[in-house]
A and B are shown apart, each in its own frame.
Chain A
Amino acid sequence: MVLKSKIKELHERRKKLLLGGGEQAIEKQKALGKRTARERIIALLDDKSFYEYDLFAEHEARDFDMEKKTLPSDGVIIGTGKIFGAPVAIYAQDFTVAGGSLGLMHSRKITKIMDHALKMRMPLIGINDSGGARIQEGVNSLAGYGEIFFRNTLSSGVIPQISVILGPCAGGAVYSPALTDFVFVVNKISKMFITGPEVIKTVLGEEISMEDLGGAKVHSEITGNAHFFAESEDECFEQVKELITYIPWNNSKKALRFDPAEPDSEYDIENIVPDDHTFPYDVKNVIRAVTDKSAFFEIMENYAKSIVIGFGRMDGQTTGFVANQSLEMAGVLDVDSCDKAARFIRYCDAFNIPLVTFVDVPGYLPGVDQEHAGVIRHGAKVLYAYSEATVPKITVILRKAYGGGYIAMGSRHLRSDFVFAWPVAEIAVMGPEGAANIIFRKEIMSSDDPDKMRKQKVEEYKKIFANPYVAASRGYIDAVIDPADTRRSIIHSLSVSENKSIQMPAKKHGIPPF
């Protein structure tokens, strides 16, 4: 029987290729605490759901003796599968094959699966573990990167794009993750940089380790390039899976609805926020006090901590939360926190996820460094993102909303649909202390006891302006609510805005202050 022998040959060919770079290279990979590319895909996807394409791909490089080298599957694995039943397209670079280097065929495999993802409108997951461009293939590998970046951009806002960095990702390679929606890193395994420590040392004389230059912690805490940090590959995969439950498959769908559930009674919304408006609290507790099961999936937990962003569910529906964190830098807006919030707001808007904003903002962070770092244009991103967003926008002013911070944090003026305020809310141009110093400057200066006079004037100002009722009388706030009614108010607002429809002026695209 010819057929049988042919089938046997298929299995033999497959078996050889499934070993990737061979047993020695696999051992090396494992010694670094890393799984192989294929193991990673299997660990991430639903059991037996992975279907591989282009296993038999081979490169066509002819220079530098490349014609004598066979690189199994050209160093990258592509395919489709499921996560909790959701379809996903996936690729994983195989470091055991020529260091996962990217040549023409390698990139063609990646762009093939990217094209599938966009065409079939399903999320794309890229697992990066590569030494960079395959230098022997010259400009062909540069062309490969360019083709990937182009597709990342086309797919942006259409399908969710997720990058998982499980090894080096250096030089041009970093720009694919940077163009995607969410970047996952693992401590001691992920390394991302444009120019490595050696080049930096040669050119600038600065000595730095790879970890300190572009390790997982650096990108989670300093650069803001990474959205999720994990201690192990396993923990990282759990995070990816959890994210998938919160987001829709594409921009024409909504996230899957879960069964509604009440928050845990341990989060008592009436006893989280202190009366003293200068004393902090953890705003994540306020979020947990309103979400189903008190679950909150935080994004960029360790970057620009003065603002908190992430997903929760309200009555079963995925909701994006943006909240000032008074516990960190008094919850100010600054270059980094504006950047963080603005991108998240645009993500939610692109993928039909309603936004809930909890406001307790003292204003913008003063400082030469902030001004020189461009807080004007970075701050403008938040205004742009809220104004442009057409998903349901619900704002709750918990305590203070001062000055530009009030306007920026999902105010009525940027077309928030429903604006609520707690009775302790203070909506004003600035805090009573600063305002009294300006308005009553003469009285304070000419007083026999300026400190006493200042205190008196601060109290006077507080009585008139430090409340939500002036703003409510102008209709800038739709309702002043008992904190205990917060969850009910949000859920009601979401339920009545499910069919929200807004026509924006026709344009090719806006020009956000990038």
Chain B
Amino acid sequence: MKSLEKDEKELEVLNIDSTLYKTRLSKKFKEKKPYKTPDHSIVSSFIPGTVLDVVVREGQDVKKGDTLIIVEAMKMKNHIKSAREGTVKKIYVKKNDKIAKGNTLLELNQI
């Protein structure tokens, strides 16, 4: 029977209800991304594909629901729409760019 040594190196600390437990942490736990509050001023691609058209220009005012960029993916034209009212601050992509999932497409001004 293998017993654990007090100074076992692989043990880390896990806080459950203010108690600090010495234990091994799972890969899944260690690699999980910390939660971030969604930032609606950053518009990113929810799907990988090709930019078919950039409908707006920098400095343009947009309303909630306005189409900003059209991305072709899975043979479908996906209209990327604005989640809120605002002004287009910066556009990061141009027509025919290939984009990956999560790429930042454009930025609206902060409210």
Residues of A bordering B, CB below 8 Å:
203-206, 222, 266-268, 271-272, 274, 278-282, 285, 288, 305-306, 326-332, 336, 362-363, 365-369, 402-403, 430-434, 437
Contacts and interface: CB of A to CB of B under 8 A. Distances in A.
A-B pairs, 5 with minimum CB distance: A434-B17, A330-B21, A205-B48, A431-B19, A368-B35
Given A203-B74, A369-B35, A278 B19 contact: yes
A332 B16 contact: yes
Given A205-B48, A272-B3, A280-B4, A366 B24 contact: no
Contact of B19 (A222, A285, A433): A433
A326 B23 contact: yes
Given A205-B101, A280-B11, A369-B35, A329 B23 contact: yes
Contacts of B48: 204-206
A271 B26 CA distance: 26
A403 B19 CA distance: 14
Interface in B10-41: 11, 14, 16-26, 28-29, 32, 35
B16 A279 contact: no
B110 to A, nearest CB: 24
Contacts of B23: 280, 326-331
A205 B21 contact: no
Contacts of B11: 280
Given A305-B26, A306-B26, A330-B16, A367 B21 contact: no
A11 B3 CA distance: 61
Nearest to B99: A205
A278 B21 contact: yes
Interface of B: 1-4, 6, 11, 14, 16-26, 28-29, 32, 35, 47-49, 74, 100-101
Given A267-B1, A272-B3, A280-B11, A204 B19 contact: no
A42 to B, nearest CB: 38
Nearest to A331: B23
Given A205-B100, A369-B35, A327 B19 contact: no
A138 B101 CA distance: 35
A278 B17 contact: no
B35 A278 contact: no
Nearest to A366: B16
Nearest to A363: B16
